[in-house]
Amino acid sequence: MNPPTPSAIRPNSNAARDIAAALHPYTDLVAHQQIGPVVITRGEGVRVWDDAGKSYIEAMAGLWCASLGFSNQRLVEAAVAQMRRLPFYHSFSAKSHEPLIELAEMLLARAPVPMSKVFFANSGSEANDSVVKMVWYFNNALGRPQKKKLIGRVKGYHGITTASASLTGIPTNHRSFDVPLAGFIHTLCPHHYRFGEAGESEEAFATRCAEELEKLILAEGPETVAAMWAEPIMGAGGVIVPPATYFEKIQPVLRKYDVLLVADEVICGFWRTGNYWGSQTYGIQPDILTCAKALSASYLPISAVLVNDRVFQGLAQESHRIGTFGHGFTYSGHPVPAAVAVETLKLYDELGIGEHVRRVGPYMQDGLRRRFADHELVGEVRGTGLIGAIELAEDKATHKPFDPARKIGPRLAKLSEANGVISRAMVDVLAFSPPLIITEAEIDEMLDNFGRALDQLAAELKQEKAA
């Protein structure tokens, strides 16, 4: 039986209709029945508007993804033109089409390390899920049926399919879903602020992370460990920037035990960190790379898996032995999203998005630190390029977090929204990942409005403490 519609929500409004019909991801479904949604009706540049006419700076580019903003007409025209020419075709059984071919060539030409082939899917979750199967398939091809365990990191995020959620290392993605599955293991989160020991430098912490990784592989048995997933900057886990020398130290451990490295570039790819790939920012040399989101500026769903030649040869030999590579999706390399992605990559080049991010990224990072690092509620400010975060703390000196039950981070996100900025709270971490086209003036406006929300929260907490 449906709960009564809250009196604050007009009958037959978009909000009421949503409450009656929609099941939302990452939402308290009971609370949603009473509070309802923010209904977004249009977007332009870095801004979106709700159905009441209120405008917001989209400080998260949606979900880390609307890299070219919300009104790029060339992407719209690319989709329309492809819809008229070839609105759908598949890539099963050696079928292909020009957008798929061109996009694969463009990705290989832009890869951070030499890659051999590109497989297309529809989301980051599907891309990472596909890699799980590829890694198992690859090791079967090499006659290593025991080498199947997969390593994620605590607070890492790689998606929400059953396999990719098992790689993810965030409790809310595991609780009551009966994941992770057997064979998925997790190593230390490389967050120096939260997990570094007293007096431990970033470099020493990175050494400890590498040592813990090696201990884990040895404890599990190197002959059973197949691959490790890593985001260059951990996104949904809280915009966690790796400590100095981290990837420099963990990669030799992986090579020592022939453990493949999968770079999850779903958030960091396509200039987010100031380089085309986060792998280039942090010296990562992956065997396999996954990307999505900014691949099409998120105008249409598409993701990609890039594999090096060693991995491809294993997949090819096993497919020949079996008679087919029995994996794929109806919409793998769908021509319309592929055409939009091709146009997106051309726009990155033509608009000089890399140069723009290298200019405005440091401006945003400086603004975040200068304005908020000393704020009484802020424990740490971190980030690189156009991805950043503010972590709240109840005690700045000891890094003591707020009790999660108080939901201080979500409360700040709501205050920020009221002040015209859509951010995202990951527990008590507020993230910033605006469209890559954002200007310095828009960054100032975003930080001004967020700063008002942060000050309002501080005042409210003081009043509550005094009461």
pLDDT at 8: 73
Q: How confident is the model over 156-166, as a mean pLDDT?
A: 98
- 23-70: pLDDT as tens digits: 999 999 999 999 999 999 999 999 999 999 999 999 999 999 999 999
Q: Can you give the three-state secondary structure of the chain, one letter per residue? A: CCCCCCCCCCCCCHHHHHHHHCCCCCCCHHHHHHHCCCCEEEEECCEEEECCCCEEEECCHHHHCCCCCCCCHHHHHHHHHHHHHCCCCCCHHHCCCHHHHHHHHHHHHHCCCCCCEEEEECCHHHHHHHHHHHHHHHHHHCCCCCCCEEEEECCCCCCCCHHHHHHCCCHHHCCCCCCCCCCEEEECCCCHHHHCCCCCCHHHHHHHHHHHHHHHHHHHCHHHEEEEEECCCECCCCCECCCCCHHHHHHHHHHHCCCEEEEECCCCCCCCCCCCCHHHHCCCCCCEEEECHHHCCCCCCCEEEEECHHHHHHHHHHHHHHCCCCCCCCCCCCHHHHHHHHHHHHHHHHCCHHHHHHHHHHHHHHHHHHHHCCCCCEEEEEEECCEEEEEECCECCCCECCCHHHCHHHHHHHHHHHCCEECEEECCEEEECCCCCCCHHHHHHHHHHHHHHHHHHHHHHHHHHHC
Show the domains of the chain with their CATH numbers. Answer: 38-71+352-466 (3.90.1150.10), 74-350 (3.40.640.10)
Q: How confident is the model over 372-396, as a mean pLDDT?
A: 98
pLDDT at 9: 85
Banded pLDDT at 1 (limits 50, 70, 90) = very low
- 289-340: pLDDT as tens digits: 999 999 999 999 999 999 999 999 999 999 999 999 999 999 999 999 999 9
Q: For the chain, give the mean pLDDT.
A: 97
Q: Residue 3 pLDDT > 60, yes or no? A: no
pTM: 0.96
Q: How confident is the model over 255-271, as a mean pLDDT?
A: 98
Q: Residue 2 pLDDT > 70, yes or no? A: no
Q: Residue 6 pLDDT > 80, yes or no? A: no
